[in-house]
Amino acid sequence: MTKTSERKQQVLQILHDNESEYISGQKLSDQLKVSRTTIWKYVKSLREQGYLIDSSSKLGYRLIKAPDILSPEEIKRDLETDVLGSEVIYYEQVESTNNLAEVKARKGAIEGTIIIAKEQVGGKGRLGREYFCPSEGVWFSVILRPDLKPTFASQLNFVAAVALARTIEQLTNLQPGIKWPNDILINQRKVSGILTEMNAEIDRVNYVILGLGINLNIEKAEFPEELIRKATSVKEEFGKEVSKLDFFLSLLHELEKEYVKLQEDGFGSVLQGWRDYNITLGKEVKVNNVREVLKGQAIDVDDEGALLIKLEDGTVERVIAGDVTLNTEYN
């Protein structure tokens, strides 16, 4: 975090701590050891972000209302994690947060660095598909440097899926389900996308970019026609808007908890949580893994996160990656 960002965050924190009263520009200036003109610039910048700040030449500044935005200042103020959010970088609009995170990871960005965008115009999903990412959603990428062998990096999909499902459940009492490996569905329609991209050597992971996109407060009418039957949002299912900031902070807390659990207790502990939400095992499924289409019963997940499918001839096929369709979707 730059010195300017740090000081602007300090100004915001002081205003938050004293919402019922005015704080003079001189007092802010003295506390931060900067000029009153500099304080005015910080306040101006906060106003441009959507903060409603009253000012009086005699009384100073008072925070009237904070916007529901995922700014570094708001996130850092209430963050309850040790690693995730160690650095937070926010953009109004980007092509893809995963692309930006990749660049920063190659340059040595510390683990837990988060890239957030209000809107993505070139968001990407699995297999290079485009992803619908309007401003009412939550779009971000996290840089992770796990102590994992490359063959086990896919376990991070399960970490993200469990954290996301649990967050939705805790904040809304909705009943999300996880379709292998990490699609979150509510009432059989998708509410999120998770994309992991890895940089690794033969025996170790250098870093993983974990990208998450959540249809949080998107109206049904906003979805493209081709997605209306397949996708939904938390707001549509819950019946009202959910605070972006509350959702994001809760998600980071759950994500770090599952990430620590993976590295300290192993994949089995994460998989146990995944099973609580899974809607794939025991079901008839169709899997398209580019090379072929398989049909059978999903019977289990192995230690590397691969899906085990029992085919009609009784043989068991191990699926590392592919699009899974439940029989309720293709029958």
Could you report the per-residue pLDDT of 228-237, keeping only the tens digit for each? 889 999 999 9
Say whether both 54 and 158 belong to one domain: no
Paired with 326 in beta bridges are: 285
Give the range of the structural domain holding residue 12, as residue numbers without chain letter: 3-65
CATH number, domain at 45? Answer: 1.10.10.10
Strands 316-319 and 307-311: antiparallel
Q: Is 179 helix (H, G, I), strand (E, B) or coil?
A: strand
Q: Is 155 helix (H, G, I), strand (E, B) or coil?
A: helix
Tell me: pLDDT of 328 over 90. Answer: no
Say whether both 121 and 17 belong to one domain: no
Strands 183-186 and 189-190: antiparallel
Say whether both 202 and 101 belong to one domain: yes
Mean pLDDT for the chain overall = 91
Indicate the pTM of the whole model. Answer: 0.88
* Per-position DSSP letters for 15-36, written without gaps between them: HHHTTTS-B-HHHHHHHHTS-H
pLDDT of residue 227: 85
Q: Around Cβ 199, how many Cβ atoms within 10 Å?
A: 14
Say whether both 99 and 120 belong to one domain: yes
Query: What does the alpha-carbon distance between residue 70 and residue 91 come to, in Å, rounded to a whole number?
Result: 10
Tell me: pLDDT of 144 over 80. Answer: yes
Say whether both 261 and 113 belong to one domain: yes
Query: What does the alpha-carbon distance between residue 35 and residue 70 come to, in Å, rounded to a whole number?
Result: 28
pLDDT in tens, 248-288: 999 999 999 999 999 999 999 999 999 999 999 999 999 98
Q: Give the residue from 136, 167, 145 showing the smallest Cα distance to 255.
A: 167
pLDDT confidence tier of residue 331, bands split at 50, 70 and 90: very low
CATH number, domain at 324? Answer: 2.30.30.100
pLDDT confidence tier of residue 290, bands split at 50, 70 and 90: confident
Say whether both 30 and 171 belong to one domain: no
Query: What does the alpha-carbon distance between residue 137 and residue 253 come to, in Å, rounded to a whole number?
Result: 19
Say whether both 200 and 166 belong to one domain: yes
pLDDT confidence tier of residue 127, bands split at 50, 70 and 90: very low
pLDDT of residue 131: 60
Say whether both 109 and 254 belong to one domain: yes
Q: Is 96 annotated as a binding residue?
A: yes
Q: Is 120 annotated as a binding residue?
A: yes
Q: Is 99 helix (H, G, I), strand (E, B) or coil?
A: helix
The sign one gets for the Cα dihedral 297, 298, 299, 303 is positive
CATH number, domain at 273? Answer: 3.30.930.10
pLDDT confidence tier of residue 120, bands split at 50, 70 and 90: confident
Say whether both 136 and 238 belong to one domain: yes
Q: Is 300 helix (H, G, I), strand (E, B) or coil?
A: strand
pLDDT confidence tier of residue 124, bands split at 50, 70 and 90: low
User: What does the DSSP 8-state code read for residue 202?
Assistant: S
pLDDT of residue 158: 97
Q: Give the residue from 104, 140, 142, 100 showing the smallest Cα distance to 119.
A: 140
Q: Around Cβ 212, how many Cβ atoms within 10 Å?
A: 25
Domain boundary among 65, 94, 113: 65
Query: What does the alpha-carbon distance between residue 106 and residue 290 come to, in Å, rounded to a whole number?
Result: 30
Tell me: pLDDT of 189 over 50. Answer: yes
pLDDT of residue 286: 93
Domain boundary among 35, 65, 95: 65
Say whether both 84 and 228 belong to one domain: yes
Look at the chain and report how many structural domains it folds into: 3
pLDDT of residue 123: 58
Q: Which residue has the tokens 């379709």?
A: 179
What's the token pair of residue 5? 């960002």
pLDDT confidence tier of residue 329, bands split at 50, 70 and 90: low
Lowest-confidence region among 6-10, 98-102, 236-240: 6-10
Domain boundary among 33, 48, 65: 65
Say whether both 47 and 158 belong to one domain: no
Under 8 Å between Cβ of 70 and 90: yes
Tell me: pLDDT of 25 over 90. Answer: yes
What's the token pair of residue 236? 């549509």
Query: What does the alpha-carbon distance between residue 165 and residue 12 come to, in Å, rounded to a whole number?
Result: 32
Q: Is 261 annotated as a binding residue?
A: no
pLDDT in tens, 209-219: 999 999 999 99
pLDDT confidence tier of residue 100, bands split at 50, 70 and 90: very high
Residues in the chain: 331
Say whether both 78 and 227 belong to one domain: yes
Q: Which residue has the tokens 């205003």?
A: 15
Largest CA distance in the chain: 83
What's the token pair of residue 292? 């072929």
What's the token pair of residue 312? 């009609």
